[in-house]
């Protein structure tokens, strides 16, 4: 029980502190409440007390009920093309007209009379004074807490034009969401009930600024992306071109002669036959291998002698696997080891060439 009572006491203290803070802080609802009472007294010498303020946030599609029930509908012009709205109910509008014409408020309303442009002109000073007063109060609050702060989102709205009906008002408001302030007022010495509603658009949040990427950071990111891109290389000893009718007549054991610029020289090519580097063919640890050589090197020693100078790599024998070729990419067995060369077809390659008619390239045997 003591715990429950203790929690109750703490909650009461917290509620009291929150209410005290809200009483001191200047919110848009409080600013409109104070500014409306002051404007009514200064402009019309009309006592007007705001009995209650209700603040809600509605989407643009849900605003239609706010403009129904008669009264004066006013479109507000805001900063940067923004639009708001104000609705005075019939009782408040009639009180403003009576105090201007007869000097007293009867509380009988307008009796269903249609709203005119003259009524809007009479109410315009009260609307502008209330908005201007609320703007000044919010600006003073912002400057006191943050120094030179930006204008409050509820600032800069003034009387624009009278609207004829709820449908036209709904179409004129284009912001996605609106802050709706419903003020219940007591008019005159007799405290006749009335109401006024302010609708102000919810400010859109600015998009998050993109991180500032310097030139060096951009270059590093681009270089990293390029270096991480996959690259496929082919080791090519030589290429030949043959007519389609000859390719379709391939038989096991057939020789395909080709010539090489240099004995046992290999070209490492990327896509589109782009030569990336030159190399020499050999063996290493029992596997076929290549050793890169400077492009255009003038070493013209025999392939066997050049390969023996490479530590850890032995030259390929004359019966090495056939190099890849251009048209059919047929893989077979080399018959000669120098400038002239040949490829001998095995049974599987010849059968595939005959069955497909060389319409598609034959599979290659990869060279490491």
Residue 43: inside a domain: yes
Q: Are residues 175 and 241 in the same domain?
A: no
pLDDT band, very low/low/confident/very high, at 135 (cuts 50, 70, 90): very high
Instruction: Tell me the range of 43-52, 137-146, 206-215 where mean pLDDT is highest.
Output: 43-52
pLDDT tens digit string along 14-45?
Answer: 665 555 545 557 889 999 999 999 999 999 99
pLDDT band, very low/low/confident/very high, at 215 (cuts 50, 70, 90): low
The closest alpha carbon to 185, from 362, 49, 332, belongs to 49
pTM check: above 0.75: no
Give the pLDDT mean for 198-225.
Answer: 71
pLDDT band, very low/low/confident/very high, at 232 (cuts 50, 70, 90): confident
Q: What confidence score (pLDDT) does residue 279 get?
A: 84
Give the pLDDT mean for 261-282.
Answer: 78
Q: What confidence score (pLDDT) does residue 281 get?
A: 78
Q: Are residues 84 and 175 in the same domain?
A: yes
Q: Are residues 178 and 308 in the same domain?
A: no
CATH number at residue 48: 3.40.1550.10
Write out the residue range of the structural domain in which residue 56 sits: 17-143+151-201
Give the pLDDT mean for 61-72.
Answer: 89
CA-derived radius of gyration, the chain:
45
pLDDT band, very low/low/confident/very high, at 217 (cuts 50, 70, 90): low
Give the pLDDT mean for 135-164.
Answer: 80
Residue 215: inside a domain: no
Q: What confidence score (pLDDT) does residue 340 get?
A: 40
Residue 154, pLDDT > 80, answer yes
Residue 360, pLDDT > 50, answer no
pLDDT tens digit string along 77-99?
Answer: 999 889 999 999 999 999 999 99
Q: Are residues 120 and 255 in the same domain?
A: no
pLDDT tens digit string along 158-186?
Answer: 999 999 888 889 889 989 999 999 999 99
How many structural domains are present in the chain?
Answer: 2
Q: Are residues 340 and 255 in the same domain?
A: yes
Instruction: Tell me the range of 208-222, 236-250, 316-330 where mean pLDDT is highest.
Output: 236-250
Residue 8: inside a domain: no
Give the pLDDT mean for 41-62.
Answer: 92
Q: Are residues 170 and 297 in the same domain?
A: no
Q: Are residues 28 and 126 in the same domain?
A: yes
Residue 196: inside a domain: yes
Q: In whole angstroms, what is the distance from residue 352 CA to residue 355 CA?
A: 5
CB 78 within 8 A of CB 169: no
pLDDT band, very low/low/confident/very high, at 361 (cuts 50, 70, 90): very low
Q: Are residues 181 and 59 in the same domain?
A: yes
Residue 5: inside a domain: no
Q: What confidence score (pLDDT) does residue 302 get?
A: 45
Return the structure tokens found at 244: 């389609």
Alpha helices in 45-176 (DSSP H): 90-101, 117-146, 166-172
Q: How many CB atoms neighbour CB 14 within 10 A? A: 10
Coil, strand, or helix at residue 50?
A: strand
Q: Are residues 159 and 276 in the same domain?
A: no
Q: Are residues 21 and 139 in the same domain?
A: yes
Q: Are residues 257 and 157 in the same domain?
A: no
Angle between helices 28-44 and 90-101 (to 10 degrees): 30
Residue 223: inside a domain: no
Mean residue pLDDT of the chain comes to 74
Q: Are residues 195 and 261 in the same domain?
A: no
Residue 229: inside a domain: no
pLDDT tens digit string along 96-118?
Answer: 999 988 888 888 877 778 899 99
- pLDDT above 90 as % of the chain: 31
Residue 185: inside a domain: yes
């Amino acid at each position: 029980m003591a715990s429950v009572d203790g929690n109750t006491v703490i909650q009461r203290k917290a509620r009291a502190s929150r209410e005290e803070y809200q009483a001191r802080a200047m919110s848009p609802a409080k600013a409109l409440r104070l500014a409306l009472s002051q404007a009514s007294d200064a402009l019309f010498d009309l006592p007007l007390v705001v009995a209650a303020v209700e603040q809600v946030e509605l989407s643009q599609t849900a605003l239609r009920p706010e403009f129904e029930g008669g009264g004066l509908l006013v479109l507000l012009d805001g900063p940067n093309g923004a639009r708001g709205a104000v609705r005075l109910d019939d009782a408040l509008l009639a009180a403003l007209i009576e105090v201007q014409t007869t000097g007293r408020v009867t509380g009988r309303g307008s009796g269903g009379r249609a709203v005119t442009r003259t009524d809007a002109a009479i109410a315009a000073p009260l609307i502008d004074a209330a908005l201007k007063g609320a703007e000044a109060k919010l600006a003073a609050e912002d400057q006191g807490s943050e120094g030179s702060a930006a204008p409050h989102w509820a600032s800069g709205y003034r009387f624009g034009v009278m609207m004829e009906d709820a449908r036209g008002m709904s179409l004129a408001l284009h912001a996605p969401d609106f802050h709706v302030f419903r003020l219940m007022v007591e008019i005159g010495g007799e405290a006749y009930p009335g109401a006024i509603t302010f609708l102000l658009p919810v400010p859109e949040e600015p998009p998050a600024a993109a991180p500032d990427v310097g030139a060096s950071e951009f270059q590093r990111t681009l270089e990293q992306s390029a270096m991480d891109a996959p690259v496929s290389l082919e080791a090519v000893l030589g290429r030949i071109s043959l007519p389609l009718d000859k390719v379709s007549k391939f038989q096991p054991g057939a020789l395909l002669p080709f010539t090489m610029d240099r004995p046992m020289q290999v070209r490492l090519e990327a896509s589109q036959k782009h030569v990336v580097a030159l190399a020499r063919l050999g063996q290493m640890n029992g596997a076929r291998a290549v050793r890169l050589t400077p492009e255009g090197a003038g070493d013209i020693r025999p392939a066997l002698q050049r390969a023996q100078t490479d530590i850890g790599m032995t030259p390929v024998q004359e019966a090495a696997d056939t190099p890849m070729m251009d048209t059919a990419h047929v893989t077979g067995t080399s018959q000669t080891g120098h400038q002239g060369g040949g490829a001998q077809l095995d049974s599987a390659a010849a059968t595939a060439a005959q069955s497909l008619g060389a319409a598609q390239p034959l599979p290659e045997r990869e060279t490491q």
